[in-house]
Amino acid sequence: MVSKTIDMMKKDLPLEPGSLLLSGHVKTGLVLVDIVNGFCTVGAGNLAPRQPDKQISHMLDESVKLARMFCDKKWPVFAFLDSHHPDIPEPPYPPHCIIGTEEAELVPGYCTIFVASLSTCLYKKIAAYVRAHQRKGCIDGFLGSVDKDGSNVFILVVGICTDLCVLDFVCSTLSARNLHFLAPLEDVIVYSHGCATYDLPVHVADTIQGALAHPQDLMHHIGLFMAKGRGAKVVSEVSFGAVKEP
């Protein structure tokens, strides 16, 4: 039933994703949206997957690969970490990613590869910057956390959730760009395989009072389509020109 719906939707809402070749001739920054335990690590919290999740695992693999490449080349990497004060709820979501908890930290596997691929100095710099500046509430990371970023001509976005925080960041950034707040930013690019969203099928949502159904594949596609509709470029391939894959 769901796959039939997805097939129909893909036909009616075609993404036609492109590919992106990063050659280093233009400045590109990588934005990691909320790749934290509370959204990605099985059993880590109210909004974490209850069981291994293929889409989320794939997102992690792809985003780690990209982050490693960007770090090796010393290109900018910016990581949002969803985090909340315990006394400020954010309905309709249950408590999650409370500041100071493991939920609000980058996923361990991600950090391990980060550490392995980065110089200690660069890792510390990123980690310190994350701690100092990039804590944010749900929904709108750009408005909540970014002061100004005029250094990148392109921004490549990966993370979770495709239809929530990733989309909101994309929309805000495009809006700021259109108002000339982010010159010389030209494009915001979303890597489809580097994004994921959570799964709450309707038959499960029906058993939880107040829960809103959130079928993963449908909402992932809709998130990407909405991003495209707002002016982002959606790509399904990212490659590096004249650079060996790690």
Binding site for Zn ion (CB under 5 A): 82, 138
DSSP 3-71: HHHHHHHHHHS----EEEEE-SSS-EEEEEE--BHHHHSTTSSTTS-SS--HHHHHHHHHHHHHHHHHH
Shortest Cβ 109–Zn ion spacing (Å):
21
User: What is the residue type of 140?
Assistant: D
The minimum distance between CB 172 and Zn ion, in angstroms, equals: 16
Q: Which is nearer to Zn ion, 47 or 69 (CB)?
A: 47
Nearer to Zn ion by C-beta: 100 or 246?
Answer: 100
Using Cβ positions, the residue closest to Zn ion within the complex turns out to be 138
Q: Which is nearer to Zn ion, 82 or 105 (CB)?
A: 82
Task: Report the nearest approach of Zn ion to the CB of residue 96 (Å).
Answer: 6
Q: Which C-beta is closer to Zn ion: that of 136 or that of 193?
A: 136
| Shortest distance in whole angstroms from residue 165 CB to Zn ion | 8
Per-residue H/E/C for 86-120 = CCCCCCCCCCCCECCCHHHCECHHHHHHHHHHCCH
